[in-house]
Structure 1
């Protein structure tokens, strides 16, 4: 499988969530060889979309000359688009959101009804793509935090999507927390093996991965300097 990882964290390789993504990809590699490319969005020149819709009227050419043309080509060439990012303001970091907004050249102005909503018709072939979201946050629980990012991802990629959310993710960058982070990363590796083998992750395993690694109250006390 040709996998394109778009790392949305400004911390690049040192990102808390990259620990999770690396474990997932390692699990996939254990199941079968994978062709993996990691792009750190923070290193790319991406102008903001100005909503002129020129790209939707002229066959997909944007008015900006930056790194997006090459990035969109990579997206269309991959089999799996993996978005790795920490939760910022209950959503994606700004640079990754700018990338998402600049994917407008992939569709045209015409639209069609799909279920209860309308979607723009594609002017590029990306029906083969599968989508994966790996998102971590610094809060000790998942409820009341990830929902906006999850719903946005589902709307952006309504078909063939898989989502992993992980609370307490700053602990992955703390060596003293290995006693709880290493077992969690082993679960993530298993998720990668499952995904490579069957294209899905068991709901029970995803729930385990998305549960707190230590009790919520203890994590909050540590974060507050009280423990």
Structure 2
């Protein structure tokens, strides 16, 4: 499956982000399956004002009161097939710059609401039914327990359909060359996931579980992070 992929890098570290190692491997896997059109945007480089909740955009055809980079970013969203959100876990959620971007996508919907299942959603002002959504999030904790849940819940509420989520603990190791012995095999699994996604539109639950498991024993990682001596 060939797609126009818009990578929205929410890390303030931009291309040096721990999580971008994961995203690059995933996109490589997609490109193994079929040629892809990929555009990476570092959100930290963009001028994005905070949403002020005036709802002007919902009443006048999607025109925001702010004159910044969001208009061109919204245009690019609508031209894409896959929105790949890459971000590290900050305060159990996404970094502030990416959250500001998310809030400024309000012009894509209007004030009217409709009931979908048990919840209400705003009716779109633009056609984005074709879009798929993928979240790749890493954290610095030794495992995924009690860490990713708020970010995952928010992503599912934001994009209730056609979403895929990859979470990876111990992600700072991707920026440590000495950890290659464990990070390279993990990135190969991520690359396989990218291939699966491009070929079938899905990633197997078993592969997602492998990617989301600790790369080294939790106690060892915690000891290293705490600056403690680790026995060989």
1:32 counterpart residue number: 34
- Map 1:195-206 → 2, pairs under 5 A: 195-206=197-208
Structure 1 gaps of 5+ residues are none
Aligned to 2:175: 173
Alignment correspondent of 1:215? 217
Structure 1 partner of 2:102: 100
2:117 aligned with 1:115: yes
Deviation, 1:143, is 1.1
Cα distance per residue 1:36-94 (max 9 Å; x no partner)? 00000000000000000000000100000000000000000000000000000000000
Shift of 1:31: 0.5
Q: Which runs of 5+ in 2 are unaligned?
A: none
Mapped partners of 2:104, 2:224: distance in 1 = 39
Q: How does 1:70-219 map to 2 (within 5 A)?
A: 70-219=72-221
TM-fit CA distance, 1:179: 0.3
Shift of 1:172: 0.1
Once the two structures are superposed, what CA deviation does each residue of 1:114-142 show, in whole Å capped at 9, x if it has no partner? 11110000000000000000000000010
Q: Which runs of 4+ in 1 moved over 2 A?
A: none
Paired residues in the alignment total 227
How far, CA to CA, are the matches of 2:89 and 2:205 in structure 1?
22
Secondary structure at 1:126 match in 2: coil
RMSD between superposed Cα atoms in Å? 0.3
Aligned-partner SS, 2:153: helix
Q: Which TM-score applies when normalising by structure 2?
A: 0.98
Q: Secondary structure of 2:130's partner?
A: coil
Shift of 1:162: 0.2
